[in-house]
Every structure is written in C-alpha cells, then in structure tokens.
Structure 1
Amino acid sequence: MKPLDPAEPRTAGRYRLLAVLGEGAMGRVLLALSPDGRLAALKQIHPELAHDDGFRDRFRHEVEASRRVSGAYTAAVLDADADAEVPWLASVHVPGPNLREAVDAAGPLPPDAVRYLAVGLTTALADIHRAGLIHRDLKPGNVLLAADGPRVIDFGIARAAEGSDLTGTGAIIGSPAFMSPEQATSGVLTPASDVFSFGALLVMAATGRAPFTGNTTAQTLYNIAHTRPDLSGLAPEVAALVEPCLAKDPAARPTPHQLLGLLGPLPTGEGWPDGVRNLVVAQDARVREVLSWPLPEPPSPKRPWGKATAVVAGALCAVTVASFAVVRLGGFEDVVDGRATGQPLPVREALADARLRLVDPCRVLDGVEVDPVGEFTRFRSEEPGGCTYETSEDDLSVWLTIGMDSDAGTDSGRGAGVDIDGLPVRLTDANTGCGALVQTPARPELSIAVEFPTGTADSCGPAMTVLRTVIDRLRTDVFRWEVPADSAFPLDPCSLVDGETARSAVGGGFKASPYLLRACTWAGQVASMSLAVKQGEPGKPPRNAGEPTKIDGVDAYLSQEDTEYCTLTWTHRQVDDERTEVLEVTSSRTGDPCGTATAYARAVVAKLSS
C-alpha cells in the first residue's frame, strides 16, 4: 500500500482518498474514507476506459445491477459515479488477503479450508446470479479471505469493459487461466460460466496451480476449450466437487444451489488454517499504521476537511481495525521515494503514463556522474519530454527523451538479447552515433531513450549504461516539474476536454485516444480534434504560430490551411527562464473547423483556470 502522490486529487465524490491499495486491468483501487467515517475500497477506472462513452453506459448499468447484490459473502457496493471525469465505484473494504496472496504466502489450503472456501463462494454466486448478474471474472484476485469467510468482489464489472477501447486493442477481459470454455471461444455466457471458474479456482486453492495452464495464453485458452483438467494432487472429496463444475458443456455443470446441497452445512469452528489467519493479523497491524499517517490536505481549500476529519481518523485508530478494513499484503511496495526506502518501484508502475508526465527530463540526470561519460549538466530543452545534457568528459551532448515516439530513428538490429529490468533494449543509428531506448510496458509506442551525437565512436555501450541509470532513477523518484498546480505538463490531455464539449464538437460516438505522452485525439461522426501540450520560449510566439487572436481574453494564434483544417495555439504559462507551456488544438472538419477548434480551446482554458 502506498501514499497518494502529492499531485493527485484527494477526493472522489463524497469520499476522501487516503492511499493506493493496488492496480488491475480496469483501474486502480484506493483506500477511502466515507463522510460517516467508514473505510471503503474505491476503484478508479483507467483513463483509456473512461474516455469511451459506451463504457460509461455499460458501467452505469452494471453498477445499478451490482447494488442489488447483498449477502454475507460479497462486498456490497456503497456508491459510484459513472459520469465523473474518472469514473469510480466504492464498495465495502473487506478484511483479508486475496486468495492468490494467501496461497503464495501460506501454501495451498487443506481440504477442510477448501470446503470452507467453497461454501462461501457458492453462496456468493447464488446471490450474484439472483440479481441477474454474471461475475465474468471470478479469479483468485477477486476473492478475499476475511477472518469470518471469503468475500467475492468486482461482480459484474468486467461486463462494462467488453466492447471498449481496452478490448478493441486485443486485450482479454478476465483472467485466462480461470475463464470458461464459452469465454475462451467468445461464446454466449450464462451463470454456468461462473461455475466453471469456481471449479478452476478451487483447484488453484488446493494445489497452487490452475487446472488448464499452458505455456502461453493461447495454449491455456485452447486447453480450457478442448482438454481435460489436471486434477492431480487433489483430495478425493475436492476432486469429486470440482470435476462436474469443469464440464465443457455449460448445461452439464451444477448450479450454485446444487453445489450448496452437496457441500452441506459447515461444522462449527471450521475455517482458515493458521497461516491465513496470521496474514489477517499482520494486515490488522498494517491498517493501524496507515490510519496513523497524517491525512493529506486536499489540493483545493474549497472543502472543509480540517479538524472534523482528524477527529474521525483518531476515532478509527482507536477502534478495532479488523472491523473496518485491512490492506492487502504483497505485490505492491511501500514506496514514494525509493532512495529513502531502498526499494525501487516495479518497472510497469514507474514507467506508467501518469507518472512519466510528472517527470522533468532536465532533472533526471542533472549533477549525476556516470562512468565513462562523466558528470551530466543540463544544457537546454526543446520539448517537454526531452532534455540535452553536456558531460564533463569529451564535452559530449547527450539527448534524453521520456515518453517520445519509440519508432523514431533507424533500428540498427543490435542490442538483441539485452534488457534493462526486463525491458528489451533497442539500439538506433549505430553507424553515425548511437541511441538506446526501451519501450514503456503499458504503451510500446512510447519510449525512454538516450541518444549520443552523430560521429561519436563506440557510443552504444555508454548509451546503454546511461539508459540503465535513467531507468534506475525513474524507479526511485519522479523528479517532478517545479511548476504550479495548474501546469498542463503533468496532466492527461484527454482529461482537459469534457464529454459534452467533445460530443458537441465532433459528433456522437466519439472516441478519445491518447497520442504520445502529452497529446489526445477525439474522432467523432462529423469531425476529429487533437490537443497537444508542447513547449515554447518566454517572450516568443509559439512555433509555427498563425494570425493573432483571442480565446476568452487569452492571446492565441490561429492558422487555417484550407476549409477543413484549423489550428489554435497559445501559451498557457511560463515554466522557467527557458521554457513555456504551449497548447495546440487542431480541428479537421468540413464547414467551420476554426469554430470547432475555438470551442475546444475555450473548454481547455476554462479547465486549466478552474
């Protein structure tokens, strides 16, 4: 569990955000405090999904259906907002590790504990199906082991992602190892799909492995659809329970109610083994520590969170924490600044878009000494994602770029088999100098790159050494921009235009797509728009500026190439003595492209000044 980044919002609707619990395929989960002092697990949806209007409609529908689910073995939905800039869902925060964490830390569950798990899960599935939902993503990470039994979370929410941008890129919604044959073959799903996933999950709980796992995702999906499950190592009573659940034909699988009849009532006192209970106790202590952290002040003084919140936090600390929530153990380092804790962030988290936008590339290497090139000194910057450094050895100029196009330059074919923290290294332009880059894990079209100048002999080795230094430093710090809160550099550009403005400008059915690190495009039925955050020089018009104009009192420049294209640029603010923030809006439509561009620009100006 990690504290929130200082630049992040501190509220979501009525909830005060306290810390980050983790991240998954659809979003990240935060520990949140409700107005009445209860702790909640609040899931914020990833921006790639939030920009899809179809997703929002499905999310709204699934949330409403999820509110109808109640029962002892599900985490109740408390609140949600599908129309927020970042859609979110708050549910009861459940005390306990998830099933994967428990098995990894304490080993496979004994048969009695598997039966205890099975009774809770089948009861939860019966409650979920009664509400007209199919879970669709019943996997170890969505089963929490509380002291008094399991809890199923995220029921029905995977349905909202189907047909979204996320699935459009070829991603799989759900965990392949626990999918049903219907899911693996894109067939029609019924509640029987959850029963198949339940059977696979019990095998994992009892043995530590899923029953169909192959060497690749494709092999796993093939096994699910066509091969018999691996039930070796299962106790006979567990095998007898799961085998009918793993039938290929959905009609041949038992229902949750039939499974409950087979399982019968639980004897008094039966529950988790000591290893799992120890995890719950350890998390109890961790929550006490988290609740002792000073509550971060919200970024805006408009919300009165002063003494009253401190009193609530103090009261929470004085109460038995297990009755409220526990933090999941494992998988997420407790790092804000790795140099202070000695633990670097995972590469995927360190090189995520939101974190890279916080990084001033001219701070990453300034004053750093790297053998054999010497000490780096910032020289100049021409883009928000790039900085040129001079070195103390041989007066070299080295160009560092963060979040730029990974296809830039010519691949030399060298560097095969070399990686930095699991990221393959590409070498470019090796005959005239050398550049070394790695693609970011979440978006391979973006890169972190170091380039030595043309004519530098034997520079590929030093380029890789410097790149490794950059990645190491990015994993331990963010080297934040020294800019005010209304700076555009750290922001997601797709968040600067609301859905209503986009729909009015480009037509219905629009899609917002991130482009590079600081640009976004909106494509609709009648027009397309783009917004880019760039860099300029103080006292000078933006590069390629057109005719002077005004946007709600702000000096801007308009350039219209023909009747279908129009660009508006303006300087948002000065960053330092050398740099300004420039925003550029381009409209492509038949008719009045400049009117459309102006509407977008006004929305962005208002957003940044609010």
Structure 2
Amino acid sequence: MKALGPQDPETLGRYRMLAMIGRGGMGQVLLGRGPDGRLVAVKRIHPQFTASTEFRARFRREVLASQQVTGAYTAGVVDHDADAEMPWLASEYIAGPSLQEAVGEFGKLNSSGLRLLATGLAMALLEIHRTGLIHRDLKPSNVLLTNDGPRVIDFGIARALEDDVALTATGAVLGSPAYMSPEQAECRPLTPASDVFAVGAILAMAAFGASPFEAASTPQVLYNVLYRTPDTSALPEGLRPLVDACLAKDPAQRPTPEQLLDVASGLDATPVWPVRILRRIADHRAEAGRWAAGLGAVDEPPPNRPVFGGTPRRASLVFGAAAVSALVLAGIAFLGIGMDGHALAMSDPPLALTVDEARRLDVCELLKPDVLRDFGKHTAELTNNGADGCSTIYGWDEDQTFFTFNVAVPQAEIIRDKTSFGATIAWMPVVGQRKEAAICDRSVLTQSGLPLAITMQAQVKPSKRDGCPAAERALAAVVHRLSVNPPLVDYESDSVMLLDPCAVLDRAAVLPIIGDPALPRVDGPHGCMALGPDGAVGLAFDDRMRPDNGSDNKDKVMTVAGRTAYIDLQSPHHCVLITMHRPTRDDRAEIVKLAFYPNAPSPAACDTAAALFAPILTKLPIS
C-alpha cells in the first residue's frame, strides 16, 4: 500500500481513509476505518465509467447481491453509496491469508486442514444459496483463512437466480477456468451445483497443491474441465469419494451443500489448520491491530500531505499480502483492476484491449519513432508482415537494432516454450526464450479480451551485444501505447479482418474429420485452431501479398465453393489453402487461409481441406 495522494478522499461515507491499496484503469481500492475502529476495504469507481447507465446498473446489482450474504463463513458488504458521483463499496476486512497464498507458501494441506476447509466451504454454500444466489467465481484466492475456518469473499459476479437468464443473455463467461463447472464453461444455465463443482476443485487443489485441471493454456484447462476426469487417487481416504462426487460432469450427480457438510463433518481428522498457517493468520491479525490503533508502518516517513488543521498524516505502505485478497473485490470481472493476492499499488494499470481493438490493431504504428523514441534514428521503412506483425530498424550501420513485433503467436506456444525472468510490464509477467542473446524476444500475455501474446524481438548489431534489454524496453513502450491509445485500422464494413474466426469455423464439418471433442482455440487476433484426437484445423484472416501475384504457388490452384483456392503447402501431413477475399492496396489483399493437419498421413489431405473450406467461404461477407 501507499500513502494517500492529494486527489484521494479523506473520507467516504462514515469511513476515514487510511491508505491506498491499489489503483487500476477502472477504479481504486482504499483501506478505511469506521467510527467504531473497524477496518474496511473500500472500492471506488472512476467517474468516467459511471456515466454509463449499464455500468451503474451492474454496480447496483453487485451491491444488492453482496448485501444478501451474511454468516460465519462469508464476508460481505458493510456499506455503500451506489448513487455517488464516484460510487463506492465498503467490505468487511478479514485478517488472514488466502488459500492460494497459504498453499503456495506452505504446500498442500494435511487431513485436519482439509476437513476444516471442506466443512467451512459447505457452510458458506449453505448461506450463499439460502439467499438465492450463485457465487460463480469460487477459487482459492477467494477463500480466506481465519482461526475459525475459511471465509468466502468476492460476490461481485454472484447473480440472483431469477435474473440468471437475462444477465447471461450476452453469452459472456464469468469465472476462473480452472475452477469453473462444465456447464459454466459452455455458457449453459447455472444452478447451485456449479458452486459445488468449484468446491470440489478447490479441495483437490488444497490436497494436491495445484488445480486438478491445470494445463499450459486456458483452452486446455477448459478442455480438461469439460472432458477429463482428474486423478484423485492421492487424496486422503474419506475425502476422495467426496471430491469425485463434487467433480461429476453432470450437475444432477453432485452432492448438495447439506450432503457435502454431512460427509465433511464425518472425516476422521481434527478440524484445525496446520501450525504454519495459524502463525501466518496471527501475523495478519497483528498487522490489522497496528492499523486499527493508527500506528501505521514502522520506519515509514510521513508524506507531505496536509489534512484538517494542516497536520501531516502518516499512512503505511505495509499491510500484508492478504489485504487485497480480503478486499471483497466484488465486480473484478468488470472492473478490470487486476489484483489478486498482493497489496501493491498499481501505478501502471494492466493492459486491457477490447476484442474490437485487438482485431483492428495497426501494428506498424507501434514501431514508429513516437513510440520507440529511445533507440536512435529510424533508418528503415516499416515492413508489414501481415495484419499481426511488423519489422523495422533503428540506429546506424555499426550500431543497429532490428525490431520485429507480433501479436499473433498463440499463447499456448508462449507458455510452453518461454521462461519468466521476474520482470513485469503493466502488471503482466515478461517471458522469453533466453536470458541473454543477440537475437532476443520478450512477450507478455494479455489479461482480458482476446488471449494474445504480444511479442517483441530485437536483433542487435554487432552480434556480441545483448539484445534482450532492447527487446524489453521496446515491448514496454509498445504496451504503454496500447494501454493509453491503441492505433486502430479503419477496415471496410465487408472486411474479413473484423470477423471472429472461431465463429466462422464450421464445427459441424470439422467434427467428423478431426474427431470429437474438437475445442476451438484463439490463435492471435485473426486466427482460430480446432484440435481433435484425429487432427487439427486452423482458420486465419490476413492482409498480405496477393496469392496471384509473384507467389511460387500461383499456378497450384483448385476451385472451392466457386472460388479460386491457392495451394500454399501440400503434403500427406498437411494442406494449406488460401483464397483472396478482396484487394486492399498495391499488391496486397485480404486473404482467408485454411490449414488441415491430419494425425495420420493422408494423400487426399487437400481434398479434405477443400471440403472443410467450402462451408466457411459461403459465410464470408460479399466484397
């Protein structure tokens, strides 16, 4: 946390503000103290967002949903003002680490801890469901540990059951993939059984040390949730049948919270946390007591900020990692504050591109001197490598840096092949293949909207130099521009570049070829890949060199759905077909590309690719 600034409020309602816990692109979170000395966490929304009637309506629904939940195993709203110019929400403060933090630091829980966790979560579900709510985002970071047991927080995306159909009509998926029920992952109507599934996943995580559906990418996590039965053989005797029942794919086969409580209460273990967790809870309670006494942090110099009467006020920068977990960040799904488990001030908000912005990015604008202003003279033309990539050179003959920027690399590939080196840009971990190299790449993964890997490669000359610092600095400059004002292309209304390739990919045609299940996976702003047990099919849109002009394959053609399709690659192991949607400028055109990769060699790979391509081409806008 940090001291309050000149623009931060002295009070909100009856609460005196003590410190800033975090600031994001949508709002800020402050630590407050009530007239009775009680500490609260206050979420306050920036006024530029509250002009929207829809936004204010969502905030009011959040408050109403949160206020309905009370009880020993939950934490709720204590006060609010949804009609203020800058609406705010005060939540009960809980002194204790999150389950995510505790397991990450101390490892998996023993049988006693698991019994206390299971019993407390069952009691929490009884209270939540009693009010007619579904939590929808139960996960380890939303479970805080106190001496009395777990406390469930964050009811920001809980919704009244009677409003469920209306509120999910947009098809938005709210929740955390590794703890999401199969019906939630498929955007089907939810019942309280969805929360029971999440409890099963949380118990497994606490027993194993990781989610039972953990994978390298979000699409693989969702695949596991939908189709794979996790191995629970390592669970303690007595707990395994309970977790298996909670993780049933069919909601009707899961136990009720009452049944969950009965089984958990009968486990052969004393319900108590391990000693290390009890000590950590005591640490948090001691820190909370210091704040409540108005002592703040030790050795923290007071900021030069006058209050009533001109006396400087002191606020602590230290409050413990559990503070943010205890904030009851209700509505984080639409606030985008992006904090989870660490009380750190956010001077630079996380990057949050909308889907429309991601598809309309002008990538070459991001390599211009007004963005990369610290790399010397811009000595080469911008080279467009398609809609999602661009290259250029900065510097002189003997001291050059060749930059290549791309937003189309699949996230799964980044996660699999690259390593985090500890740095962050806009609260996103920076990853790369090598710590030092003359040709060095650095990437960050977007935290909202389309899942994108934003990658900058720097090749320095002379080659004895390290290109990694340049790659990281250039990536930071690009991310900053994207956060402030992303440059966008004004595509024509009939452009394929505005389409969602996963929506255009014909699932009915794909399933018989690559097998069921075939889960689509986003591959950059303009690509989609469907993976199945018998092969893979990819669909992509691009703006690049015309296939009928100068291509080595311009004479390798076939007719698909009345259009000329160019065979870009062909072998028994793959076939890539390209059609031209419409010319754009010079020798470039918007193209549509379909790639087919059978698991078993097929001499008729291109015939199969053509059969898959045909229904897609009929869906495209007429140019």
What's the TM-score, normalizing by structure 1? Answer: 0.53
**Corresponding residue number in structure 1 for 2:134:** 134
Q: Would the alpha carbon gap of residues 144 and 448 (structure 1) be closer, same or farther in structure 2, given more than 3 Å must change?
A: same
**Corresponding residue number in structure 2 for 1:105:** 105
**Corresponding residue number in structure 2 for 1:552:** none
C-alpha distance in 2, partners of 1:418/1:110? 34
1:292 matched to 2:259:
no
Query: Does 64-73 or 260-269 show the bigger shift?
Result: 260-269
Q: Deviations over 1:70-123 (max 9, x none)?
A: 111111211233345554422111111000111111111111211111111111
**Corresponding residue number in structure 2 for 1:221:** 222
**Corresponding residue number in structure 2 for 1:606:** none
C-alpha distance in 1, partners of 2:179/2:239? 17
Q: Would the alpha carbon gap of residues 113 and 438 (structure 1) be closer, same or farther in structure 2, given more than 3 Å must change?
A: closer
Q: Would the alpha carbon gap of residues 34 and 297 (structure 1) be closer, same or farther in structure 2, given more than 3 Å must change?
A: farther
1:274 matched to 2:280:
no
**Corresponding residue number in structure 2 for 1:184:** 185
C-alpha distance in 1, partners of 2:431/2:107? 33
Given residue 213 of structure 2, which amino acid in structure 1 is its aligned partner? F
Equivalent residue runs for 1:522-561 within 5 Å? none
SS in 2 for 1:3: coil
Per-residue deviation at 1:263? 3.1
Per-residue deviation at 1:41? 2.1
**Corresponding residue number in structure 2 for 1:95:** 95
Q: Is the 8 A contact 1:95 1:327 kept in 2?
A: no
Q: Is the 8 A contact 1:158 1:174 kept in 2?
A: no
Q: Is the 8 A contact 1:398 1:451 kept in 2?
A: no
Per-residue deviation at 1:46? 8.4
Given residue 144 of structure 2, which amino acid in structure 1 is its aligned partner? L
Q: Deviations over 1:176-219 (max 9, x none)?
A: 11111110111100111111111111111111122222332222
C-alpha distance in 2, partners of 1:384/1:37? 53
Equivalent residue runs for 1:12-91 within 5 Å? 13-14=12-13, 15-21=15-21, 29-44=29-44, 53-84=53-84, 87-91=87-91
SS in 2 for 1:183: helix
Per-residue deviation at 1:255? 1.5
**Corresponding residue number in structure 2 for 1:125:** 125
Per-residue deviation at 1:37? 2.9
**Corresponding residue number in structure 2 for 1:484:** none
Per-residue deviation at 1:157? 2.8
C-alpha distance in 2, partners of 1:306/1:30? 22
**Corresponding residue number in structure 2 for 1:193:** 194
SS in 2 for 1:263: helix
Per-residue deviation at 1:129? 0.8
Per-residue deviation at 1:262? 2.8
**Corresponding residue number in structure 2 for 1:202:** 203
Q: Is the 8 A contact 1:22 1:332 kept in 2?
A: no
SS in 1 for 2:232: coil
1:251 matched to 2:252:
yes
Q: Is the 8 A contact 2:371 2:477 kept in 1?
A: no
1:517 matched to 2:484:
yes
Given residue 193 of structure 1, which amino acid in structure 2 is its aligned partner? S
C-alpha distance in 2, partners of 1:350/1:164? 35
**Corresponding residue number in structure 2 for 1:587:** none
C-alpha distance in 1, partners of 2:145/2:25? 21
C-alpha distance in 2, partners of 1:29/1:59? 15
Per-residue deviation at 1:38? 1.8
What's the TM-score, normalizing by structure 2? Answer: 0.52
C-alpha distance in 1, partners of 2:166/2:475? 32
Per-residue deviation at 1:141? 0.5
Q: Is the 8 A contact 2:178 2:214 kept in 1?
A: yes
Q: Deviations over 1:119-174 (max 9, x none)?
A: 11111111111111100001001000012211000125355999999998x98521
Given residue 184 of structure 1, which amino acid in structure 2 is its aligned partner? A
Per-residue deviation at 1:238? 0.9
C-alpha distance in 1, partners of 2:453/2:85? 24
Equivalent residue runs for 1:70-469 within 5 Å? 70-84=70-84, 87-157=87-157, 159=159, 172-264=173-265, 270-287=271-288, 291-293=295-297, 304=308, 350=348, 352=350, 410=391, 414=404, 421=423, 423=430, 441=446, 465-466=469-470, 468=472
Q: Deviations over 1:484-537 (max 9, x none)?
A: xxxxxxxxxxxxxxxxxxxxxxxxxxxxxx98615999xxxxxxxxxxxxxxxx
Q: Is the 8 A contact 2:21 2:31 kept in 1?
A: yes
Q: Would the alpha carbon gap of residues 240 and 267 (structure 1) be closer, same or farther in structure 2, given more than 3 Å must change?
A: closer
Per-residue deviation at 1:223? 2.2
C-alpha distance in 1, partners of 2:129/2:22? 27
C-alpha distance in 2, partners of 1:351/1:470? 18
Q: Would the alpha carbon gap of residues 41 and 53 (structure 1) be closer, same or farther in structure 2, given more than 3 Å must change?
A: same
Q: CA RMSD in A?
A: 5.6
Q: Deviations over 1:428-472 (max 9, x none)?
A: xxxxxx9999778458999999999xxx98799788644545779
Query: Does 82-91 or 208-217 show the bigger shift?
Result: 82-91
Q: Deviations over 1:362-416 (max 9, x none)?
A: xxxxxxxxxxxxxxxxxxxxx997695697xxxx6899xxxxxx97965688589
Given residue 292 of structure 1, which amino acid in structure 2 is its aligned partner? G
Q: Is the 8 A contact 1:287 1:327 kept in 2?
A: no
Q: Would the alpha carbon gap of residues 307 and 408 (structure 1) be closer, same or farther in structure 2, given more than 3 Å must change?
A: same
User: Where does the alignment leave 5 or more consecutive residues of structure 1 unmatched?
Assistant: 337-344, 355-382, 400-405, 426-433, 479-513, 522-610
Q: Would the alpha carbon gap of residues 119 and 49 (structure 1) be closer, same or farther in structure 2, given more than 3 Å must change?
A: farther
Q: Is the 8 A contact 2:124 2:152 kept in 1?
A: yes
SS in 1 for 2:150: strand
Q: Would the alpha carbon gap of residues 126 and 450 (structure 1) be closer, same or farther in structure 2, given more than 3 Å must change?
A: closer
SS in 2 for 1:236: coil
Q: Is the 8 A contact 1:73 1:149 kept in 2?
A: yes
Q: Is the 8 A contact 1:398 1:450 kept in 2?
A: no
Q: Is the 8 A contact 1:52 1:165 kept in 2?
A: no
C-alpha distance in 2, partners of 1:471/1:57? 37
Q: Deviations over 1:563-587 (max 9, x none)?
A: xxxxxxxxxxxxxxxxxxxxxxxxx
**Corresponding residue number in structure 2 for 1:365:** none
Q: Would the alpha carbon gap of residues 250 and 351 (structure 1) be closer, same or farther in structure 2, given more than 3 Å must change?
A: closer
